[in-house]
Structure 1
């Protein structure tokens, strides 16, 4: 059973969709590093959960999705990839801002926004999982 799939013409299948994901992931990496530096410099770690979410959901998850969508363009060009993209990239900023407001001010009025954004992000992950199970198939 073959475990590596390559485009016969170029040796590697690359999806433009994956490139967009990787570029967004790097933006989240820069944000996460900047936030980490700011917290370390000030010795104020109130935004630790935001830092963790930016790095894990923003940098790591988006980068892995980008790599997967680059190597498996049939998944990267699917409708589920578009659903995944928009749900994740709409949920992440709302989630990070709402969580920051709660942590910095204690204002609980934004909790519903945080909860909705978390469910949207979870839906994005479900769309990603469904996409992979439906669209990652051995090449014939």
Structure 2
């Protein structure tokens, strides 16, 4: 799972850099929020979580790790696509898009809580 998270994070990294490149070359910064969230929650967070799971592979067998994985990787794209459409269309009052960002954000938050639970409850000091 650690390796899989690192691979997925590299996809988020490419997407985030492409959005940043587009914004800097076009001087249109409408998608700044999407760019930042994809880089932080996709690239940075999932890379660090993947490294943690590589260092402590016993954590990956926990149910909370699998729940985190799916909640995070379903919620983040839903939240980012909804937010991008809202920002690009300027329609910040669209109920389906508001629900998409809220549901996606809630899934990511719940996923992060499952990750933190996994770390706090299951991570043990290695014996020397």
Q: Which has the higher helix share?
A: 2
- Consecutive aligned runs of 4 or more in structure 1 exceeding 4 Å deviation: none
Structure whose CA Rg is larger = 1
SS of residue paired to 1:19: helix
Please say if 1:112 is aligned against 2:99. yes
Aligned to 1:128: 115
SS of residue paired to 1:128: helix
Return the alpha-carbon distance in structure 1 between the equivalents of residues 49 and 109 of structure 2: 14
Return the alpha-carbon distance in structure 2 between the equivalents of residues 49 and 73 of structure 1: 33
Return the alpha-carbon distance in structure 1 between the equivalents of residues 103 and 12 of structure 2: 21
Return the alpha-carbon distance in structure 2 between the equivalents of residues 119 and 28 of structure 1: 19
What TM-score does the superposition give when structure 1 sets the normalisation length?
A: 0.86
Shift, 1:106, TM fit = 2.4
Gaps spanning 5+ residues in structure 1: where?
1-16
Shift, 1:76, TM fit = 1.7
SS of residue paired to 1:138: coil
What does 1:1-140 align with in structure 2 at a 5 Å threshold? 17-107=1-91, 108-109=93-94, 110-140=97-127
Gaps spanning 5+ residues in structure 2: where?
none
Return 100-109 or 85-94, whichever deviates more.
100-109
Return the alpha-carbon distance in structure 2 between the equivalents of residues 117 and 28 of structure 1: 16
